[in-house]
A and B are shown apart, each in its own frame.
Chain A
Amino acid sequence: MTPIALEEFSLAVHNSDAVPLHLGECGEGAFAQRFAIYRNNVRASRTEALRQGFPVLERLLGADYFTALAAVFIQQHPPRSAALHEYGAELAGFIARFQPLSGLSYLADIARLEWARLCAFHAPDTPVLSIAEMDSATLTDRLGQPLRWHPSVTLLRSDHPLYRLWASQQGGTPAPTAQNWSEENVLIWRHGLLLRTEPLDAVSCELLQIATQPNHLPAALAEHPEWLNRLIQLLYWQVFLAE
């Protein structure tokens, strides 16, 4: 098979108009129908990868709208890797710029949240800082040194009630309304093997940030002893690296 023939075939399965009839051995009508199977497979596998990675986005948009949106996205951002669970990094940015959805700016944040969950699910198994294995002197010493986040951790700060929007699609909790629409921060990470998505208050966000700076944590705790509970929760959640 010549590189030119392969290029022609490739362009034609990716785009939806032309069929490279001259490549086929059978009659034109039959070739077009047969070629369409490959084109549909290509489109379906890419759309399915997005569907699996962004289920809440699909629920909020509706299946038909999601499929149509995916078709536009795929044309602009085709996958570069055969590991299709890594497909969709650009989806949030694409949605943020997608004019017909400009009135629903929380949708881009939903895509960011779902992308963070995908990344966390596949992140490396790196040893975490575990308070269960430390005495208080060792812990105090460790907290004086800068901490690093586990590679599965993403902190999202949203102008929208991002956690409640997402959680409402998991069943059991009501969706936020105009009356209680407020900004929320969301922490996504893997707690052992468990993929977690939790709302995070301002103090915990601040603690997560300052923990990465040398000696900031002890100073902050001396000034705000009431923050200790929040820090213990973050340590219990295993969001920091052991080293």
Chain B
Amino acid sequence: MSSLALRGGAGVAFRPVYFEALLANPGRVDFIEVHAENYFGEGGLLHAQLAELRMHLPLSVHGVGLSLGGVDPLDALHLQRLRRLCERYEPQLVSEHLAWSGNAGQYLGDLLPLAYNAPTLQRLSSRIQQVQEALGRTILIENPAVYLRLDESDMSEVEFLRQLCRDTDCGLLLDLNNLLVSCHNCGGSPDSYLKALPAERVAELHLAGSTRMPIGDGTLLIDDHASAVADDTWALYVQWLLQAGPRPSLIEWDRELPVWGILAAEVDCARTLQQSPYMPPCASREKHA
């Protein structure tokens, strides 16, 4: 199993359709990431492929369904399966979301927004600690893409994340696309958000595309993981690199999957920018500025 530590580089969200290309040339990427829940089955092709790739590449396990922000007790079976997955593949990184996704025993299948306040912080801290104890490691928490702000919130998202890191010793997975989406939809400056983040806690970055949806007099940005990384996101990536330096950076493309060559070209962009963080002015940024 590849035990290389991840300090930078670029990776892809692994899908079975990319297996042959990755196996033929694992060095084309620096790591792969999988959704934990897709590997909660016990055997078969998915595990055979992952075990094979894991021989050659570092791995990030990304959970989407633990419902850290929920009020139901943490699902013991879910946690047990996550632990077994980590024991089986020894991932370099394990992450989950600042969100909730289930209630009253029902899985809702989406990352739902939280009120950023002291009671939520207390609940989330205790649940993150429970997960970290169960896994015997720290986990990374990802900032969500949000479409509304709840009335009960009385602190900013970045302040909430800062306190969460302090209380639980967790790390952060900074999704730059989500950051732009949330700032666009709910107000706030991406620039201030980046500056307020505890950069030393950020152990992974996510990069993705988004779409625009008309709403009332304006537009909402929708995080759909169905297109190439947006220019605005690349520009913010450059800003991050200049400010904090490289981190393992994932091209997150989960729907309407491109052919391997296109995804690999996105990896090249991230790698190139890590070497030389320069982003030329681009039309889309000027248009939406």
Contact = CB atoms under 8 A, between A and B. Distances in A.
Contact of A1 (B44, B66, B102, B115): B115
Contacts of B78: 81-82
A80 B106 contact: yes
A108 to B, nearest CB: 24
Nearest to A29: B216
Contact of B108 (A14, A25, A30, A120): A14
A99 to B, nearest CB: 25
B37 A83 contact: yes
Interface stretch (A41-49, A62-70, A134-142, A200-208): A41-49
B65 A82 contact: yes
Nearest to B224: A41
Contacts of B67: 82
A164 interface: no
A1 B64 contact: no
Interface stretch (B23-31, B143-151, B231-239, B265-273): B143-151
A49 B47 CA distance: 20
B120 to A, nearest CB: 5
A101 interface: no
A2 B112 contact: no
A113 interface: no
Contacts of B101: 82
Nearest to B65: A82
Interface in B38-74: 38, 40-48, 64-67, 69-71
A13 B119 CA distance: 23
B110 A6 contact: no
A239 to B, nearest CB: 15
B106 A10 contact: yes
Interface string B187-199: 0000000000000
A51 B38 CA distance: 16
B152 interface: yes
A107 to B, nearest CB: 25
B130 interface: no
A5 B109 contact: no
A38 B146 CA distance: 9
Interface in A111-164: 120-126, 152
Most A CB atoms within 10 A — which of B37, B78, B105, B119?
B37
B117 interface: yes
A82 B150 contact: no
Interface in A152-206: 152, 190, 193, 195
A29 B216 CA distance: 8
A1 B151 contact: no
Given A24-B151, A29-B216, A41 B109 contact: yes
B240 interface: no
A33 interface: yes
Chain B, interface residues (CB within 8 Å), range = 35 or more
A52 B152 CA distance: 38
A234 to B, nearest CB: 20
A3 interface: yes
A41 B152 CA distance: 23
Contacts of A82: 37, 64-67, 75, 78, 101-102, 107, 109
A123 B115 contact: no
A10 B220 contact: no
Contact of A25 (B77, B81, B149, B220): B149
A122 B70 contact: no
B107 A38 contact: no
A5 B115 contact: yes
B205 to A, nearest CB: 23
B71 A6 contact: yes
A85 B39 CA distance: 10
B283 interface: no
A7 B109 contact: no
B103 A124 contact: no
Nearest to A74: B109
Give the interface centre of A9, A46, A121 by most chain B CB atoms within 10 Å: A9
Given A80-B107, A82-B65, A83-B37, 14 more contacts: A1-B69, A24-B150, A25-B150, A33-B220, A35-B148, A37-B147, A41-B110, A42-B110, A45-B110, A49-B109, A82-B66, A84-B37, A121-B45, A122-B41
19 contacts: A1-B115, A5-B115, A7-B104, A13-B110, A23-B150, A25-B148, A25-B151, A25-B153, A26-B149, A34-B220, A37-B147, A37-B213, A82-B101, A122-B41, A122-B44, A123-B42, A123-B43, A123-B44, A193-B44
Interface of B: 37-38, 40-48, 64-67, 69-71, 75, 77-78, 81, 100-110, 112-115, 117, 119-120, 147-153, 185, 213, 215-216, 220, 222
